[in-house]
Amino acid sequence: MENCGNGEIPEDANEHCPGTQSEEAGKSDACQGCPNQQICATAPKGPDPDLLPIAERMATVKHKILVLSGKGGVGKSTFSAQLSFALAAMDYQVGLLDIDICGPSIPKMLGLEGQDIHQSNLGWSPCYVESNLGVMSIGFMLPNPDEAVIWRGPRKNGLIKQFLKDVYWGELDYLVVDAPPGTSDEHISIVQCLLETGIDGAIIVTTPQQVSLIDVRKEVNFCKKVGIKVLGVVENMSGLCQPLRDIKFLKQSGTSEQSDVTEWALQYMKERAPELLNFMAYSEVFDSSGGGAMKMCQEMGVPFLGKVPLDPQLCKAAEEGKSCFEDQKCTASAPALKSIIEKLIPKRAAENGV
């Protein structure tokens, strides 16, 4: 980027760019057709008085990780929740901040539904899963969990700033920020508020098919434009994988009706081929013939962290607000998540066997 009197000028900006901090940024005739027009038009101009108290509050946080996705419904919040559970299990002090204002699912995924925020002379207190895992979400502030949050951008941005400057986390090793899908107001706000305090980077979650990767490419480019390091991309729901003994077997009749023959099928295998009951069954749910996230990462020059299969037991753990590492039920997903976490935090993950 070049510098001018009205802020930095992006490398891909139009000729006669007024500068990102100009009052005309994103609005002047010179901005028409510029790829940065929307970001510049919605970004606040001039020094933000909230940045100093945010910096003071974030001074006690060692590492900040954003979890992003270009497409909704790819399992980003599930990944954020399980990453937080894993970090806490490694004896880190962890905070999980949910800035998905319109769709806060983190309280349920952490088993904290119905909890309330408490205020002290130090600020808002997070809701705690364990003594070393605190959570903050608008979900704790809604009078009814079915209440719709119908807010415009400025009000969303105001709450995100309030979370950052008023929540008392104490000393944290990791703050995991679960963001909504896309590259809109919430993303611009969190980056502008935290960039000067130091962001370790972003983990981007996708599913294998092109309809998701198209939007994830935009998310990668967003990170590059705003100066956020992409720690890596996770390909979630990478095929349905579960023990064969957990599969339900159906018999299709000529009238298109289906009958459950699971009990017969399992008994047949037990008698004729018992070794099959220890096998894992795999089925590709989404089309990955285009190369999936791995190919996209190679093309865009960002790290590929790994694949996590679609595991019904992981879905159940998320529904129940539990860690998939607590027991041996998530046999397909837990090892995959562990491998990804070891790439992000290698030494402590290996020591704790998460």
- pLDDT at position 347, please? 58
Nearest of 307, 312, 308, 306 to residue 243 by alpha carbon? 312
> CATH assignment of 50-239+286-344?
3.40.50.300
Q: How confident is the model at residue 352 (pLDDT cuts 50, 70, 90)?
A: low
Q: How confident is the model at residue 31 (pLDDT cuts 50, 70, 90)?
A: confident
Higher pLDDT, 44 or 214: 214
Q: Are 1 and 16 in contact (CB under 8 A)?
A: no
Q: How far, CA to CA in Å, does 217 sit from each of 42, 190, 201, 277, 345?
A: 21, 20, 16, 40, 25
- pLDDT at position 122, please? 92
The annotation places the binding site at 17, 31, 34, 40, 70-77
* For the chain, percent of residues with pLDDT exceeding 90: 73
pTM of the predicted model as reported, rounded to 2 decimal places: 0.84
Domain-wise residue ranges, the chain:
50-239+286-344, 241-282
Higher pLDDT, 24 or 322: 322
Ranking 10-24, 199-213, 325-339 by mean pLDDT, the lowest is: 10-24
State pLDDT tens for residues 290-313.
999 999 999 999 999 999 999 999
Mean pLDDT value across residues 106-118: 95
Q: How far apart are CA 103 and CA 285, in angstroms?
A: 25
Mean pLDDT value across residues 133-155: 92
The annotation places the binding site for ATP at 70-77
Query: C-alpha 300: how far from its chain's center?
Result: 20
End-to-end CA distance of the chain: 41
The annotation places the binding site for [4Fe-4S] cluster at 17, 31, 34, 40
Q: How far apart are CA 137 and CA 61, in angstroms?
A: 18
Nearest of 7, 76, 38, 12 to residue 224 by alpha carbon? 12
